Amino acid sequence: MATPVIVPELGETMNEATIVRWLKNEGDIVKKGDALLEIQTDKAVLEVESFASGTLLKILAQAGETLPVLQVIAFIGEPGEKLPEVPKAPPPPAAPSRSVPEMPATAAEAPVPQAAPAPPVQRRFTISPRAKMLAKERGIDPTKIAATGPDGRVIERDVVAYLERKGYDSLLISPTARRLAADLNIDVLDLKGTGPAGKIVKADVLRAEREKPRPLSQTRKIIASKMVKSAREIPYFLVTLSVDMTELAALRERLNKERTQRISYNDFIVKACAFALRSFPIVNAVCLGESYRVNESIHIGVAVDIEDGLIAPVIRDADRKSLDQIAGESAQLVEKAKNKKLRPDEFQGATFTISNMGMLGVESFTAIIPPDQAAILAVGSVTDSVVVHDGKPVVRKIMKITLSSDHRILDGATSARFLNEVKRKLEDPTWAG
């Protein structure tokens, strides 16, 4: 009996994956553990390994195809073996039934990363070749035309009637623009003319082409749905503090002189937060609607800006790691993140997240709380500022930090206290020296 190769489920919220490329061909002998193909899921490209040895008998899905998790995509077995029928993949489930109770989804909720429930059955748009040719020649979108042909087909007279209704013949358009619109499949009736007397010219067509909606990439779709979920479900509030980083700056410089793996400001902030989370476990928690969970371990996500979005690799057990360990790990993780090489376990499971835009000259900002956490810290740049010390103006290195908190389980006082603890740890970094 041939062994099926399936799209692996690599995360609770993973519903589908796209095949990037097959690493083996039909007919190849494979061993258990061999990498069979690369798939793209969430924001990373992963290898899928074989759980059987034998011949790769048949590949059922090709590079570029997106399939739901658990879908059979190939078979491994002995040559000549009869292969079972593989039913067509059902659309990934609307409700995240595989999700652990901590995410009680409401009935209409679209799960992450699935975009929308299966659309209603639509009639196929049909058009006669002649009508299609006419529409293309005129540079208009035939799907907007009312059909009177048999079986709801758009036929020539429908296109003619539509053109008349829309006053097509009195449309001012240059021949170049018309041809270009036809080539680019842009409906000339949608265009605003900027030429003399409102004439549609080539530039208008080119502008329309540039403004054409483009689909969101897989990465962006996932980010978008997480953000929407957070915005929709988490009532948040902000607490901002200024931190005097002067002492820490000096310490950092001193420490880095003796090191090849440099320690960044963010590494200190990770450690400081880890301490504070130990003292305020409620900030290391997550609200689950009618319940909440306080996480035992402290895993801190560090937001990284990548090519088509952002990702937050996780420094696990940050409270039990030294500053050097944190520095080394975060450098590695950032590198991997930028190369899309993070494994799911490397970007999942954070209990608290830090987003640092200090290197971009940002004074302060608001971060959006990841849907599986209770708070997120937004860190601004370290800037020489004039502050008052003992009644006198002095220049100190000041950094603004802003905590976004889930008001369902965190109140202003708690968040303020937590943030003050972070500030204390950063302003008095003896623990690091």
Give the residue numbers annotated as catalytic, written as ranges.
407
The nearest distance, CB 191 to another protein, in angstroms, is: 25
**Nearer to another protein among residue 9 and residue 156 (C-beta):** 156
Count interface residues toward another protein (CB under 8 A). 10
The nearest distance, CB 163 to another protein, in angstroms, is: 15
Residue 48 in contact with residue 144, Cβ under 8 Å? Answer: no
**Nearer to another protein among residue 127 and residue 377 (C-beta):** 127
Q: How far is CA 333 from CA 1, 111, 218, 230, 341, in A?
A: 42, 27, 21, 25, 9
The nearest distance, CB 137 to another protein, in angstroms, is: 10
Single-letter amino acid code for the residue at 25: N
Residue 328 in contact with residue 315, Cβ under 8 Å? Answer: no
Q: Which positions from 99 to 128 touch another protein by CB under 8 A, shown as an x/- string?
A: -----------------------------x
**Nearer to another protein among residue 35 and residue 133 (C-beta):** 133
Distance CA(187)–CA(184), nearest Å, equals: 9
341: nearest Cα among 23, 10, 47: 47
The nearest distance, CB 134 to another protein, in angstroms, is: 9
**β-pair partners for 278:** none
**Burial (0-12, 13-18, 19+ Cβ within 10 Å), 379:** buried
For residues 324-343, which are near another protein according to CB under 8 A? none
97: nearest Cα among 15, 19, 173, 28: 15
**Nearer to another protein among residue 133 and residue 231 (C-beta):** 133
Q: Which of 156, 187, 209, 427 touches another protein (CB under 8 A)?
A: 156
Q: Which of 5, 147, 155, 312 touches another protein (CB under 8 A)?
A: 155
Residue 54 in contact with residue 83, Cβ under 8 Å? Answer: no
For residues 124-153, which are near another protein according to CB under 8 A? 128-133, 149-150
**Nearer to another protein among residue 16 and residue 158 (C-beta):** 158
**β-pair partners for 283:** none
**Nearer to another protein among residue 156 and residue 324 (C-beta):** 156
The nearest distance, CB 30 to another protein, in angstroms, is: 46
The nearest distance, CB 173 to another protein, in angstroms, is: 23
Parallel, antiparallel, or unpaired: how do β-strands 16-22 and 35-41 relate?
A: antiparallel
Distance CA(149)–CA(131), nearest Å, equals: 11
The nearest distance, CB 158 to another protein, in angstroms, is: 10
Distance CA(200)–CA(4), nearest Å, equals: 57
231 binds another protein (CB under 8 A): no
Distance CA(188)–CA(169), nearest Å, equals: 12
Q: Which positions from 233 to 262 touch another protein by CB under 8 A, shown as an x/- string?
A: ------------------------------
Phi/psi of residue 3, nearest 5 degrees: -90, 125
Virtual CA dihedral for 61, 66, 71, 75, nearest 10 degrees? 20
In the structure encoding, which two tokens stand for residue 275, read together?
Answer: 């301490």
For residues 265-284, which are near another protein according to CB under 8 A? none
**Nearer to another protein among residue 158 and residue 204 (C-beta):** 158
Residue 88 three-state SS: coil
| Interface with another protein (CB under 8 A) | 128-133, 149-150, 155-156
